[in-house]
Structure 1
Amino acid sequence: MPSPLLGQRALVTGGARGIGLAAVRALAALGAEVTFTARTPESRDAALREIGAEAADRVSGVICDITDRARLAEAIAPGFDVLVNNAAVVTPIGRITDLSTEAFAQAIETNLIAQFDAIRLALPAMLSRGRGTIINISSGAGHRPQEGWSAYCAGKAGLAMLTRSVHLEYGADGIRVFGIAPGVVDTGMQGVIRASGINPVSQLPRSALAPAEQPGQAVAWLCTPAADALLGQELDIRAPDLREAVGLPPLA
């Protein structure tokens, strides 16, 4: 069976660990040539060691803080068929009166403005080819507020509307776009959440968290024609029909 993404080039932001790294591996397994961003050489090299020989010839990492607009432009300049907007922060965590405007603004810069910038920079190459896929890693927090997460919720809510805007403006030009909420996943971000002790999500035991491989597999599936019926939508990985289509086990 031919690899469905053979010949396609993908960029995954924040791909050195967690959901991003799982998406890198899943995309490479479907034949894509994958580049991921990492903030430090150490995290990039650790991710490449973890990937190992399984996809060493199809995966590379670049050093890029996505809020550095010049560096982000350099990373995207080669042109990609797939963009996965994964890099994000959950901090600052705290009630609104406990937050600084500067910390709130930095979260919006990372979780929304940099995502917009990545899309803006990636679109010209996609449009010139008449096709491209953009996947924004969304969150249920973009639709349901959580105590202490005002910055994160606001950024993810904006990202959900950005997904819909891309579909409205460029869907007819061959640009496939999705938002996907990955659920509560066992990543480093969840460690930060648990340490905060704020809101019910922080109280979840680690055993209740999903493995990162599940949203990684979903991201790769969305890059294939099998997902075309869902174009432009905000998706939730916990939806039974989506899990069945992706090939994930049903939730207990």
Structure 2
Amino acid sequence: MRGHAGPQSRRWRETGVCGTRREGHLDEASRKTVLITGASRGIGAATARAFAAQGARVALVARSREALSELAGELGEAALAIPCDVSRYWEVAAAVDATVKTFGRLDVLVNNAGVIAPIAPFGQTDPEAWAKTQEINVTGVYHGMRAAWEVMIGQAGGGTILTVSSGAASRPLEGWSAYCASKAAAAMLTRSADLEGRALGIRAIGLSPGTVDTDMQGDIRDSGIGAISQMARSEHIPPDWPARALVWLAGPGGDEHLGQEVSLRDPAIRAAAGLGA
């Protein structure tokens, strides 16, 4: 759903509804305010549930008003739904403003919104679709970082910027020129944010989750291009794995990974995040 974020935001306060929250037994995510882009489904929705289950307040950002409303209703009073197009800076800035106005601060930004199309041989890609991928996957990440920057450096405790990355950031894949280029650029944004923001109290980290069983994998399968399109659904990890890893990175576990791309394919990272082998 497109349009200015501020007037469209809505807070849910359904008593007793907030995942598995238990007062007195909350971990490092407790009472943090987390803004998640691409929150309406897949990794984004799973991440919202994971943070809310630990007592965090979550601002849900995506274009789909209906899907956001459903998720916010599920999460209850800790959720703020903000329809927003991340490729438009003024909408992202309004979403950050609405989050701070509602919850008082912004502790964690999760840059998750992204698209993979067009998947096509280089010479058959549509230039407009290719450029749109960069607007969402690169400029959208920058918009989130830029809008959150002054808020985070101006508050006690600073803030954390987590960006969902990909192995495609470091190697080309057949038919994925748009996606690979965008993820490489987003990875450099993480490094740039760390270089300039660490001394100011900003922690910037990228998470490369590997292949995840989301709607995006359906698009990849439908393309029939490359080895990943031939993988069975059972070979992909569930969305709650990267979600739980993001919660872990938002806490002290992320301190040794600042400015890096953390790979969820690494058994040591999975173990540290409390995930399976």
Q: CA deviation at 1:145?
A: 0.9
Match of 2:162 among 135, 142, 167: 135
Q: Which residue of 1 aligns with 2:189?
A: 162
What TM-score, normalized by structure 2, do the two folds share? 0.86
Q: CA deviation at 1:61?
A: 1.4
CA contact (8 A) 1:126 1:132 kept: yes
Q: Which residue of 1 aligns with 2:19?
A: none
Q: CA deviation at 1:48?
A: 3.1
Q: Which residue of 2 aligns with 1:109?
A: 135
Q: Pick which of 63-72 and 194-203 moved more.
A: 63-72
Q: How does 1:174-189 map to 2 (within 5 A)?
A: 174-189=201-216
Task: Determine helix, strand or coil for the equivalent of 1:57.
Answer: helix
User: In structure 2, what is the Cα distance between the partners aligned to 1:227 and 1:111?
Assistant: 23
User: In structure 2, what is the Cα distance between the partners aligned to 1:42 and 1:56?
Assistant: 15
Runs of 4+ in 1 over 3 A off after TM superposition: none
Q: C-alpha offsets along residues 170-220 of structure 1, whole Å, 9 cap, x if unaligned?
A: 111111111001111110111111000001110001111110000000001
Q: Which residue of 2 aligns with 1:223?
A: 250
CA contact (8 A) 1:40 1:63 kept: yes
What TM-score, normalized by structure 1, do the two folds share? 0.94
CA contact (8 A) 1:4 1:31 kept: no
Match of 1:146 among 169, 173, 183: 173
Identity of aligned residues (%): 43
Q: CA deviation at 1:95?
A: 1.1
Match of 2:93 among 60, 63, 73: 73
CA contact (8 A) 2:60 2:72 kept: no
Q: CA deviation at 1:28?
A: 1.1
1:8 matches 2:32? yes
Q: What's the C-alpha RMSD, in Å, of the aligned pairs? A: 1.2
User: In structure 1, what is the Cα distance between the partners aligned to 2:168 and 2:241?
Assistant: 19
Task: Determine helix, strand or coil for the equivalent of 1:56.
Answer: helix
Match of 2:81 among 39, 61, 66: 61
Match of 1:37 among 48, 53, 61: 61
Aligned residues: 246
CA contact (8 A) 1:178 1:235 kept: yes
Q: Which residue of 1 aligns with 2:110?
A: 84
1:93 matches 2:119? yes
User: In structure 2, what is the Cα distance between the partners aligned to 1:84 and 1:208?
Assistant: 25
CA contact (8 A) 2:187 2:206 kept: yes
Q: Which residue of 1 aligns with 2:43?
A: 19
Q: CA deviation at 1:115?
A: 0.6
CA contact (8 A) 1:12 1:20 kept: yes
Q: Which residue of 1 aligns with 2:8?
A: none
Q: Which runs of 5+ in 1 are unaligned?
A: none
1:239 matches 2:266? yes
Q: C-alpha offsets along residues 29-63 of structure 1, whole Å, 9 cap, x if unaligned?
A: 222100111212222123335xx2xx312122111
User: In structure 2, what is the Cα distance between the partners aligned to 1:74 and 1:114?
Assistant: 14
